[in-house]
């Protein structure tokens, strides 16, 4: 017998143990809302470690500069900018201090 799991008024809809992604559902009258929770702590920790490894090394071509969770990549317009080859927008996003934790190397793009 399966029991429903709740987070306040939100009911668990789906959970992926491999990624930790959890989808919650909320029924509000004739509307249904979905919330996706995606843990990113491990990605941010790995990004910090990768950035620390670049200390004291020369900048060069073809270095990994960021690691961004897939849902964020699609939700924040990054995928569209890549598709449209909008390098200026990508540079601004990657160099923005609010997104520093997604960077894996020091300096600016």
Is residue 91 over pLDDT 80? yes
Q: What is the pLDDT of residue 1?
A: 57
Q: Are 82 and 108 in contact (CB under 8 A)?
A: no
Give pLDDT, residue 108.
82
Tokens of 99: 């997104």
CA distance 39 to 69: 9
Question: Higher model confidence: residue 13 or residue 60?
Answer: 13
User: Can you name the residues that pair with 27 across neighbouring β-strands?
Assistant: 32
Tell if the pTM clears 0.75, that is, is over it: no
């Amino acid at each position: 017998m399966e029991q429903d799991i709740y987070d306040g008024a939100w009911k668990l809809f789906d959970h992926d143990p491999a990624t930790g992604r959890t989808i919650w559902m909320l029924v509000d009258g004739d509307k249904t809302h979905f919330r996706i929770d995606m843990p990113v702590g491990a990605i941010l920790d790995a990004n910090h470690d990768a950035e620390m490894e670049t200390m004291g090394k020369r900048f060069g071509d073809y270095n990994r500069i960021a690691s961004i969770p897939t849902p964020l990549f699609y939700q924040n317009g990054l995928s569209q900018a890549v598709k449209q080859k909008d390098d200026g927008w990508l540079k601004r996003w990657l160099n923005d201090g609010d997104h520093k934790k997604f960077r894996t190397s020091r300096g600016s793009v």
